[in-house]
A and B are shown apart, each in its own frame.
Chain A
């Protein structure tokens, strides 16, 4: 039974629950907007990395460099789209 629940996965799961709870804190604690956003961004990024590394095994093959590059490029385009859109449509006036 124990070998069905490897420690990496269990730790990853517990850690992701804890991170969700921390994120949930922003609506109960009395925080400034920027402090809350920092908490949300950091906890979400750690969660995403947890999934990628622990559950999706991104680093297990010889193509891992390409895979990291792929994710990095996608995140670059995604971030450029989100912030570029906000920049052009809302902040830039």
Chain B
């Protein structure tokens, strides 16, 4: 097994370094996936049929909270990795727990928002605009959900085993994923909500 000591723990074995590289490639695919969803949304956003428009539907309050939570969780996630590289297990775990909790908070607001939309008669079936909105936001929300489950699994492993080649590698890859979800949210925030409210 080739060991490279000049890099942080998560890169040390060739296999783990390849995993990080492979995950970056996967994020490339994710960029295309979300771009396609944006393409659909931009094509359909003013085809509202008999349903409400974005301007009638969106409320800026919840969205600001969602953005704040996700930005902050991305920050704490980065701090977690920083703590990991310093070899500090407890701070790393605290940062990750905070990250996941804020992820849960984000999901809570998003679900409330969806429920409100449905109460106002804006459902997946109402119009092409709403279909594309729900699927774009839902795909991001599903990613966040999977991220929370995944991150919780990694936290358990770090708690049990401490920082090993493997747990460090998994934590780092998770952080890439989490930051990426934040990037996607920035685009949703700007081009779905803000552009819609303009």
Residues of A with C-beta under 8 A to B72: 13
CB-CB nearest 6 A-B residue pairs: A78-B35, A74-B28, A74-B31, A13-B75, A55-B78, A85-B39
B contacts, CB < 8 Å to A: 7, 11, 17, 20-21, 24-25, 27-29, 31-32, 34-36, 38-40, 42-43, 60, 64, 67-68, 71-72, 74-75, 77-79, 82-83, 86, 88, 91, 175-176, 179-180, 182-183, 186-187, 189-191, 194-195, 197-198
For the complex with contacts A70-B24, A86-B42, 18 further pairs of A-B residues with Cβ separation under 8 Å are A5-B79, A6-B79, A9-B75, A12-B78, A20-B67, A26-B198, A33-B198, A40-B195, A54-B78, A55-B77, A56-B176, A61-B20, A77-B35, A82-B35, A82-B42, A85-B39, A85-B43, A89-B43
CA distance A24 to B74 in the complex (A): 19
Q: A48–B38 contact, CB under 8 A?
A: no
CA distance A33 to B197 in the complex (A): 12
The CA-CA distance from A41 to B180 in the complex, in Å, is 17
For B31, the closest partner residue in chain A by CB is: A74
Q: Per-position contact with B for A74-92: 1 when CB-CB < 8 Å, else 0? A: 1101110110011001100
- Complex alpha-carbon distance, A76 and B7, angstroms: 31
| Cβ–Cβ contact A81 & B39, under 8 A | yes
B17 nearest in chain A by CB position: A61
Question: Closest CB of chain A to B91's CB: distance in Å?
Answer: 6
Check A3 against B86 for contact (C-beta < 8 Å): yes
Q: Chain B binding site: helix, strand, loop or mixed by DSSP?
A: helix
Query: How far is it, in angstroms, between the C-alpha of A23 and the C-alpha of B64 when the chains are bound?
Result: 11
B74 touches A55 (CB 8 A): yes
- In Å, the complex CA distance between A63 and B42 comes to 35
CB of A91 to closest CB in B, whole Å: 10
Please, how many angstroms separate the alpha-carbon atoms of A5 and B75 in the complex? 10
Q: Which of A9, A47, A86 contacts B78 (CB 8 A)?
A: A9
Whole-angstrom distance between the alpha carbons of A60 and B87 in the complex? 18
Q: Which has the most chain A C-beta neighbours within 10 Å: B39, B42, B83? A: B39
Given contacts A51-B179, A74-B32, contact A4 B191 (CB under 8 A): no
A60→B82 CA distance, assembly (Å): 13
**Which residue in B20, B78, B83, B194 is a CB contact (below 8 Å) of A40?**
B194
**Cα(A12)–Cα(B74), bound, Å:** 10
The answer to whether B88 and A44 touch across the interface, beta carbons within 8 angstroms, is no
* Closest Cβ–Cβ distance, residue B56 to chain A (whole Å): 14
* Min C-beta distance of A47 to chain B, whole Å: 5
* Distance of A61 Cα from B24 Cα, bound (Å): 12
